[in-house]
Amino acid sequence: MSQDTSSSTAYTASLHYDRRLYRQDIAGSMAHVRMLARQGIISKRDAQAIVKGLADIQEEIRGGTFPWREDLEDLHMNVEARLSEKIGEPAGRLHTARSRNDQVSVDMRLYAKEAIRDTVARLRQLQQALLDQAERHREVILPGYTHLQRAQPVLLAHHLLAYFHMFQRDVERFQECYQRTDVLPLGSGALAGVPYPIDREFLARELGFARISDNSMDAVSDRDYLVEYLADAALCMAHLSRLAEELVLWSSQEFDFLRLDDRYVTGSSIMPQKRNPDFAELARGKTGRVYGHLLALLTVLKGLPLTYNRDLQEDKEGFFDTADTLHATLEVFAGMVSTARFNQGRMRQAAEESYVLATDLADYLVGKGVAFREAHGIVARLTSYAKEQDKRLHDLTLDEYHQFSPHFDEDVYKVTLESSVAARDVPGGTAPARVEEALANARALLKEGTSKATRGSGNTPLGRRKR
Amino acid sequence: MSQDTSSSTAYTASLHYDRRLYRQDIAGSMAHVRMLARQGIISKRDAQAIVKGLADIQEEIRGGTFPWREDLEDLHMNVEARLSEKIGEPAGRLHTARSRNDQVSVDMRLYAKEAIRDTVARLRQLQQALLDQAERHREVILPGYTHLQRAQPVLLAHHLLAYFHMFQRDVERFQECYQRTDVLPLGSGALAGVPYPIDREFLARELGFARISDNSMDAVSDRDYLVEYLADAALCMAHLSRLAEELVLWSSQEFDFLRLDDRYVTGSSIMPQKRNPDFAELARGKTGRVYGHLLALLTVLKGLPLTYNRDLQEDKEGFFDTADTLHATLEVFAGMVSTARFNQGRMRQAAEESYVLATDLADYLVGKGVAFREAHGIVARLTSYAKEQDKRLHDLTLDEYHQFSPHFDEDVYKVTLESSVAARDVPGGTAPARVEEALANARALLKEGTSKATRGSGNTPLGRRKR
Amino acid sequence: MSQDTSSSTAYTASLHYDRRLYRQDIAGSMAHVRMLARQGIISKRDAQAIVKGLADIQEEIRGGTFPWREDLEDLHMNVEARLSEKIGEPAGRLHTARSRNDQVSVDMRLYAKEAIRDTVARLRQLQQALLDQAERHREVILPGYTHLQRAQPVLLAHHLLAYFHMFQRDVERFQECYQRTDVLPLGSGALAGVPYPIDREFLARELGFARISDNSMDAVSDRDYLVEYLADAALCMAHLSRLAEELVLWSSQEFDFLRLDDRYVTGSSIMPQKRNPDFAELARGKTGRVYGHLLALLTVLKGLPLTYNRDLQEDKEGFFDTADTLHATLEVFAGMVSTARFNQGRMRQAAEESYVLATDLADYLVGKGVAFREAHGIVARLTSYAKEQDKRLHDLTLDEYHQFSPHFDEDVYKVTLESSVAARDVPGGTAPARVEEALANARALLKEGTSKATRGSGNTPLGRRKR
Amino acid sequence: MSQDTSSSTAYTASLHYDRRLYRQDIAGSMAHVRMLARQGIISKRDAQAIVKGLADIQEEIRGGTFPWREDLEDLHMNVEARLSEKIGEPAGRLHTARSRNDQVSVDMRLYAKEAIRDTVARLRQLQQALLDQAERHREVILPGYTHLQRAQPVLLAHHLLAYFHMFQRDVERFQECYQRTDVLPLGSGALAGVPYPIDREFLARELGFARISDNSMDAVSDRDYLVEYLADAALCMAHLSRLAEELVLWSSQEFDFLRLDDRYVTGSSIMPQKRNPDFAELARGKTGRVYGHLLALLTVLKGLPLTYNRDLQEDKEGFFDTADTLHATLEVFAGMVSTARFNQGRMRQAAEESYVLATDLADYLVGKGVAFREAHGIVARLTSYAKEQDKRLHDLTLDEYHQFSPHFDEDVYKVTLESSVAARDVPGGTAPARVEEALANARALLKEGTSKATRGSGNTPLGRRKR
Instruction: Say if the Cβ atoms of B358 and D272 lie within 8 Å.
Output: yes
Residue D305 contacts by C-beta under 8 Å, 6 or more apart in sequence? C145, C148, C242, C245, C246, C249
The pLDDT score that the predictor gives to residue A322 is 98
Is B148 close to D302, i.e. CB distance below 8 A? Answer: no
Cβ distance of D147 and B355 shorter than 8 Å: no
Asked if residue B460 has pLDDT above 60, the reply is no
Inter-chain touch B318–C266, beta carbons under 8 Å: no
pLDDT tens per residue across span D236-258 = 999 999 999 999 999 999 999 99
The per-residue pLDDT for C162 is 98
Q: In this complex, which of C277, C299, C376 lies closest to A147 when CB atoms are compared? A: C277
| Nearest residue of chain A to residue C271 (CA atoms) | A359
Q: Is residue C118 over pLDDT 50?
A: yes
**C-alpha gyration radius of chain C:** 30
Contact: D424, C216; criterion CB under 8 Å: yes
Instruction: Judge whether C32 and C94 are in contact, CB under 8 Å.
Output: yes
D97-122 pLDDT, tens digit each: 999 999 999 999 999 999 999 999 99
Look at D372 and C362; give whichever has higher pLDDT: C362
Residues of D in contact with C146 (CB under 8 A): 101, 190-191, 220, 307-309
CATH 1.10.40.30 maps onto chain B at: 358-415
Cβ separation D310–A264 shorter than 8 A: no
In the predicted model, what is the mean pLDDT of residues C240-261?
97
A281/C149 CB distance under 8 A: no
Contact in structure between D312 and A285 (CB atoms under 8 Å): yes
Residue B366: band (very low, low, confident or very high) from pLDDT cuts 50, 70, 90: confident
Residue ranges, comma separated, of all CATH 1.10.275.10 domains in chain B are: 5-93
Q: Mind telling me how many Å the CA of C26 is from chain D's nearest CA?
A: 21
Q: Output the 3-class SS for chain B.
A: CHHHCCCCCCCCCCHHHHHHHHHHHHHHHHHHHHHHHHCCCCCHHHHHHHHHHHHHHHHHHHHCCCCCCCCCCCHHHHHHHHHHHHHCHHHHHHHCCCCHHHHHHHHHHHHHHHHHHHHHHHHHHHHHHHHHHHHHCCCCEEEEEECCEEEEEEEHHHHHHHHHHHHHHHHHHHHHHHHHHCEECCCCCCCCCCCCCCCHHHHHHHHCCCEECCCHHHHHHCCHHHHHHHHHHHHHHHHHHHHHHHHHHHHCCCCCCEECCHHHCECCCCCCCCCECHHHHHHHHHHHHHHHHHHHHHHHHCCCCCCCCHHHHHHHHHHHHHHHHHHHHHHHHHHHHHHCEECHHHHHHHHHHCCCCHHHHHHHHHHCCCCHHHHHHHHHHHHHHHHHCCCCHHHCCHHHHHCCCCCCCHHHHHCCHHHHHHHCCCCCCCCHHHHHHHHHHHHHHHHHHHHHHHHCCCCCCCCCCCC
The overall longest dimension of chain C from CA atoms, in Å, is 101
Distance of CA B61 to the CA centre of its chain: 30
Contact between residue D207 and residue D110 where contact means Cβ atoms under 8 Å apart = yes
The CATH class, in words, for B5-93 is: mainly alpha
| Residues of chain D positioned with their CB less than 8 A from the CB of C184 | none
Q: Is residue D383 predicted with pLDDT exceeding 50?
A: yes
Residues of A in contact with B164 (CB under 8 A): 215
pLDDT at res. D376? 85
The predicted model gives D204-215 an average pLDDT of: 98
Rounded Cα distance between A230 and A177, Å, is 10
- Whether B350 sits inside 8 A of D254 (CB atoms) is yes
Tell me the chain C residues in contact with residue A351 when contact means C-beta distances shorter than 8 Å: none
The pLDDT value recorded for residue C288 is 98
CB atoms under 10 Å from CB of D317, counted, come to 17
∠ Cα D372 D373 D376 (to 5°): 85
Q: Is the pLDDT of residue A464 over 50?
A: no
Return the pLDDT at D269: 66
pLDDT at A353: 87
User: pLDDT per residue over B406-453, tens digit each?
Assistant: 999 999 999 999 999 999 999 999 999 999 999 999 999 999 876 554
pLDDT above 50 (res C1): no
Q: State yes or no: pLDDT of B353 exceeds 90.
A: no
Read off the pLDDT band of B273 (50, 70, 90): confident
Question: What is the predicted pLDDT for the residue at B7?
Answer: 41
The answer to whether residue D337 scores a pLDDT higher than 50 is: yes
Rounded to an integer, the average pLDDT of A300-310 is 97
Nearest alpha-carbon partner for B194 in B202, B186, B203: B186
Does residue D8 have a pLDDT over 90?
A: no
Confidence grade of residue C2 (pLDDT, cut at 50, 70, 90): very low
pLDDT at B384 over 70: yes
Comparing C-alpha atoms, which of C161, C116, C168, C236 is closest to residue D180?
A: C168
pLDDT in tens, C190-210: 999 999 999 999 999 999 999
Residue B88, CB half-sphere, CA atoms under 13 Å: how many? 1
Supply the pLDDT for residue A269. 66
| Interface with chain D: mutation pick from C170, C235, C302, highest number of D CBs within 10 Å | C302
- Residues of C within 8 A of B288 (CB-CB) are 295-300, 314
What is the interface pTM, i.e. ipTM, of the complex?
A: 0.94
Distance CA D354, CA D362 (A): 16
Question: Which member of A252, A268, A384, A451 is catalytic?
Answer: A268
The answer, as to whether pTM is greater than 0.90, is yes
Residue of C nearest to D307 (CA): C146
pLDDT, residue C455, reads: 41
Active-site annotation of C, residues: 147, 268
CB contact at 8 A, C278 and C266: yes
* DSSP tally for chain C: helices H, then strands E: 17, 6
- Is D201 a residue whose pLDDT tops 60? yes
φ, ψ of residue D391 to 5 degrees: the values are -115, 155
Q: Residue A4 pLDDT > 70, yes or no? A: no
Q: Domain A100-199+208-349's class?
A: mainly alpha
Active-site residue, A147 included: yes
Dmax over Cα atoms in chain A, in whole Å?
101
Secondary structure, 3-state, chain A: CHHHCCCCCCCCCCHHHHHHHHHHHHHHHHHHHHHHHHCCCCCHHHHHHHHHHHHHHHHHHHHCCCCCCCCCCCHHHHHHHHHHHHHCHHHHHHHCCCCHHHHHHHHHHHHHHHHHHHHHHHHHHHHHHHHHHHHHCCCCEEEEEECCEEEEEEEHHHHHHHHHHHHHHHHHHHHHHHHHHCEECCCCCCCCCCCCCCCHHHHHHHHCCCEECCCHHHHHHCCHHHHHHHHHHHHHHHHHHHHHHHHHHHHCCCCCCEECCHHHCECCCCCCCCCECHHHHHHHHHHHHHHHHHHHHHHHHCCCCCCCCHHHHHHHHHHHHHHHHHHHHHHHHHHHHHHCEECHHHHHHHHHHCCCCHHHHHHHHHHCCCCHHHHHHHHHHHHHHHHHCCCCHHHCCHHHHHCCCCCCCHHHHHCCHHHHHHHCCCCCCCCHHHHHHHHHHHHHHHHHHHHHHHHCCCCCCCCCCCC
Q: Residue B259's closest chain C neighbor by CA?
A: C1
Average pLDDT value over all residues in chain C = 92
Chain D: residue whose CA lies nearest to B372: D270
A299 neighbourhood in chain C, CB within 8 Å: 298-299, 302
Residues of D tagged active-site: 147, 268
Res C5 pLDDT > 70: no
Split at pLDDT 50, 70, 90, the class of C452 is low
CATH 1.20.200.10 boundaries in chain C:
100-199+208-349
Which CATH code, of 1.10.10.10, 1.10.40.30, 1.10.3720.10, 1.10.533.10, is assigned to D358-415? 1.10.40.30
Task: Of D30, D43, D29, D36, give the one whose Cα is nearest residue D197.
Answer: D36
**In whole angstroms, how far apart are CA B285 and each of B242, B332, C111, C218, C301?**
11, 14, 22, 19, 8
pLDDT band at B374 (very low <50, low <70, confident <90, very high): confident
Q: Is A409 left (phi over 0), alpha (psi -120 to 50) or beta?
A: beta
Backbone angles phi and psi of B144, in degrees to 5:
-80, 145
pLDDT at position A152 over 80 = yes
Distance CA D231, CA C324 (A): 21
Give me the pLDDT at residue A424, please: 97
User: Nearest CA to CA, how far is A384 from chain C (Å)?
Assistant: 8
Say if the Cβ atoms of C300 and B288 lie within 8 Å: yes
Give the CA count within 13 Å in the CB-facing half-sphere of A211: 11
